[in-house]
C-alpha cells in the first residue's frame, strides 16, 4: 500500500504497534510506527496521529489500588472508618465505577455508604428504571424513589442485564460498610441521610453538582479530587479511570499534552513532516439503538498539540448550495467551479452558505473518529492516523 490517491477524502487507518507495558517509551514507540508510515508514503503534512489514552497511562504505570482510593477519600473528606459518606450520581458501570465504589466503601468499613442514583438513567444513558416508572408512581422531579417502591422485580441494564442496585450493594457490604441506595434527581436529597461527607461522582456536570453542595457549606469533593496527586496520579483524578486487574484501576494519562508535543517534535525533526497529535479516550457517540452515550471520560481528548486546541471544523453546506444552484439552472461543471471558488472565501457562522453546518471542535470529532476505528476490543491498533481532515 502506498500514497493515498488525491481523489480520496478524509481517511483513518489503524496502525499496529507492539505490546505496551509499564515503563515503555510510548512516544518512541509511536514515532517508530510513524516512521514506517512515512517510509511507505502514508505520512503527510497536516495528518493527525491519535494515540489511545490506555497505552499512554499503562506506559506511565499509572495504576492505583482500592486502598489508595480509600486513603485519599478519608484524607480529603476528613472522615473516619465509622463515618457516613454520600455518593452522588455515579454512572452504572462495572468497568468505570465498581472499583471506585469499592475504594469509597473501604474508606468507611465500619460506617455507611449512601448511593444516590439518578433516574430513569445515569448521565450517559444507562437505564436504572423504565422511562415511565416515576410517572406511574406519581413521582415528580426531585422526589425520592426508594428500593421498597421499586420492588424485587428490578429493571436490568438493557444490554448487559446487570442489576446495578444489587451489584453496588454487594460492593459496599463486601467492604463491611452499610449500603443505602435510593433514586432522586435532586443532588441535595442525600443530605436527608446526614452524611459526613459527599463524593460527587457524575462526570460532565460535576462542577455544577459540587457547587450546589459547596453553596450550602457541605463537605464535598468530586472524583477529580481523588488520586490527583501522589506516586500514581492524573490531573483528572479518578475521572477516565478503567478497571485493571485485581484491585487495581488504571487512571487516565497524566500530562498528555507533553506526550503529544514530544511526538510532534520528533516527527518534524526526523521525518520533516508537520503533523498534529491527540491522546484520545472515549468518542462522543450516542448509540441510537440504546440511547447510551459512550462518553464516560471527562472529554474525548485528554491531550493534544497546540495546533488543534480551540480549533473548529466548519465550512460550506454543500448539499444546500448544490440544490440551490441546480434550481437556478447552473450546469454541473459550473457548480464545481463555484464550489471550489467559494471554499477560498470566509463566511460568518450564521450565513446561508454555512446553514445547517454546526461548527464542532476538531479535537472532539477526531478523537471520536479514532475511537470508532480502534474500538475497545482486540483490534490491536492503539495508534490511528487520520488524513485529509484538517484540509
- pLDDT top residue among 17 and 359: 17
* The three three-digit cell numbers of residue 263, written as one number: 511526538
Q: In the prediction, which pLDDT does 86 show?
A: 98
- CATH fourth-level superfamily of 11-61+252-313+361-387: CofE-like (3.30.1330.100)
Banded pLDDT at 390 (limits 50, 70, 90): confident
Residue 182 β-bridge partners: 116
- The confidence score (pLDDT) of residue 320 equals 66
How far is residue 326 CA from its own chain's centroid? 43
Q: What is the pLDDT of residue 78?
A: 98
**Least confident residue range of 132-141, 207-216, 268-277, 295-304:** 132-141
Q: Is the pLDDT of residue 118 over 70?
A: yes
**pLDDT digit string, tens, across residues 252-283:** 999 999 999 999 999 999 999 999 999 999 99
Question: Which residue blocks in the chain are alpha helix, DSSP H?
Answer: 26-39, 53-59, 66-77, 99-107, 133-137, 147-150, 164-173, 206-215, 256-271, 318-327, 332-342, 362-374
Q: Which residue has better confidence, 100 or 344?
A: 100
DSSP state of 192: G
Neighbouring-strand partners of residue 14: 384
pLDDT of residue 311: 85
CATH topology of domain 63-250: Rossmann fold (3.40.50)
pLDDT at res. 315? 53
Q: Looking at the predicted structure, is the pLDDT value of residue 77 above 80?
A: yes
For residue 139, how many C-alpha atoms fall within 13 Å in the half-sphere facing its CB?
21
Q: Output the pLDDT for position 299.
A: 95
pLDDT at position 141 is 81
Name which of 100, 90, 68, 96 is nearest 160 in CA terms.
96
Q: What is the pLDDT of residue 356?
A: 45
Which candidate, 313, 299, 310, 306, places its Cα nearest to that of 367? 299
Cβ burial 327-337 (10 Å sphere, 16+ → b, else e) = eeeeeeeebee
Q: What is the pTM of this model?
A: 0.88
Band of pLDDT at residue 82, cut at 50, 70 and 90: very high
Nearest to 307 by CA among 277, 281, 350, 338: 277
Closest by CA to 285, choosing from 298, 275, 295, is: 295
Q: Which pLDDT belongs to residue 318?
A: 60
| Closest CA relative to residue 155, chosen from 136, 178, 175 | 136
- In this structure, are residues 120 and 127 in contact, taking their beta carbons and an 8 Å threshold? yes
Averaged pLDDT for residues 59-77: 97
pLDDT of the residue at 344: 54
Residue 388, pLDDT above cutoff 60:
yes
Count the Cβ atoms, other than its own, within 10 Å of residue 148.
8
DSSP character at residue 96:
I
Tens digits of residue pLDDT in 144-188: 999 999 998 899 988 889 999 999 999 999 999 999 999 999 999
Binned at pLDDT 50, 70 and 90, residue 377 comes out as very low
- The answer to whether residue 360 scores a pLDDT higher than 90 is no
The residue-averaged pLDDT of 81-91 equals 98
Residues 6+ apart with CB under 8 A from 53: 240, 252, 253, 256, 279, 280, 281, 297, 302
pLDDT at 384 over 50: yes
Question: Is-contact 279 295, C-beta < 8 A?
Answer: no
Query: Which of 262, 291, 266 has the alpha carbon at shortest distance from 120?
Result: 291
203 pLDDT above the threshold of 60: yes
Over the stretch 119-131, which tens digit does the pLDDT of each residue have?
999 999 999 999 9
Residues 185-211, mean pLDDT to the nearest whole number: 97
Residue ranges per structural domain of the chain: 11-61+252-313+361-387, 63-250, 318-354
- Judging by beta carbons within 10 Å of its beta carbon (0-12, 13-18, 19+), is residue 220 exposed, middle or buried? buried
Q: How far apart are the first and last CA of the chain?
A: 22
Any long-range contacts for 203-207 (C-beta under 8 Å, 24+ apart)? 203/91, 203/123, 203/124, 203/239, 203/296, 203/297, 203/298, 204/123, 204/295, 204/298, 205/123, 206/239
Q: Does the pLDDT at position 338 exceed 90?
A: no
DSSP notation for 294-351: ---SSSSEEEE-TTTTT-EE----HHHHHHHHHHTT--HHHHHHHHHHHTTS---TTS
Peptide bond into 206 cis (omega under 30): no
pLDDT attached to residue 348: 46
Amino acid at each position: 500500500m502506498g500514497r493515498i490517491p488525491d481523489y480520496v477524502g478524509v481517511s483513518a487507518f489503524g496502525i499496529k504497534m507492539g505490546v505496551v507495558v509499564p515503563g515503555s517509551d510510548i512516544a518512541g514507540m509511536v514515532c517508530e510506527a510513524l516512521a514506517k508510515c512515512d517510509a511507505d508514503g502514508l505520512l503527510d503534512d497536516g495528518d493527525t496521529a491519535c494515540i489511545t489514552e490506555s497505552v499512554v497511562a499503562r506506559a506511565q504505570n499509572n495504576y492505583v489500588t482500592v486502598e489508595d482510593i480509600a486513603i485519599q477519600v478519608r484524607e480529603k473528606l476528613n472522615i473516619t472508618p465509622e463515618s457516613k459518606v454520600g455518593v452522588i450520581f455515579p454512572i452504572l458501570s462495572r468497568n468505570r465505577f465498581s472499583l471506585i465504589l469499592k475504594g469509597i466503601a473501604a474508606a468507611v468499613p465500619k460506617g455507611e455508604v449512601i448511593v444516590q442514583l439518578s433516574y430513569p438513567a445515569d448521565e450517559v444513558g444507562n437505564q436504572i428504571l423504565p422511562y415511565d416508572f416515576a410517572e406511574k408512581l406519581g413521582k415528580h422531579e426531585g422526589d425520592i424513589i426508594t428500593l421498597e417502591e421499586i420492588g424485587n422485580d428490578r429493571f436490568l441494564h438493557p444490554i448487559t442485564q446487570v442489576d446495578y442496585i444489587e451489584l453496588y450493594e454487594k460492593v459496599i457490604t463486601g467492604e463491611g460498610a452499610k449500603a443505602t441506595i435510593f433514586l432522586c434527581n435532586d443532588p441535595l436529597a442525600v443530605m436527608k441521610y446526614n452524611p459526613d461527607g459527599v463524593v460527587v461522582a457524575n462526570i460532565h456536570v460535576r462542577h455544577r453538582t459540587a457547587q450546589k453542595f459547596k453553596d450550602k457549606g457541605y463537605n464535598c469533593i468530586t472524583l477529580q479530587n481523588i488520586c490527583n496527586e501522589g506516586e500514581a496520579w492524573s490531573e483528572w483524578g479518578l475521572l477516565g479511570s478503567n478497571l485493571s486487574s485485581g484491585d487495581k484501576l488504571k487512571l487516565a494519562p497524566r500530562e498528555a499534552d507533553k506526550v503529544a508535543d514530544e511526538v510532534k517534535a520528533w516527527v518534524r525533526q526526523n521525518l520533516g513532516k508537520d503533523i498534529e497529535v491527540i491522546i484520545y479516550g472515549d468518542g462522543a457517540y450516542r448509540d441510537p439503538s440504546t440511547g447510551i452515550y459512550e462518553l464516560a471520560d471527562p472529554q474525548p481528548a485528554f491531550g493534544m498539540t497546540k495546533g488543534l486546541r480551540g480549533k473548529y471544523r466548519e465550512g460550506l453546506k454543500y448539499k444546500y448550495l448544490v440544490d440551490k444552484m441546480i434550481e437556478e439552472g447552473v450546469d454541473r461543471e459550473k457548480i464545481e467551479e463555484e464550489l471550489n471558488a467559494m471554499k477560498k472565501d470566509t463566511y460568518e457562522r450564521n450565513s446561508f452558505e454555512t446553514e445547517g453546518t454546526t461548527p464542532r471542535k476538531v479535537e472532539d470529532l477526531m478523537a471520536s473518529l479514532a475511537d470508532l476505528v480502534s474500538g475497545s476490543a482486540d483490534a490491536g491498533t492503539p495508534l490511528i492516523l487520520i488524513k485529509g481532515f484538517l484540509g
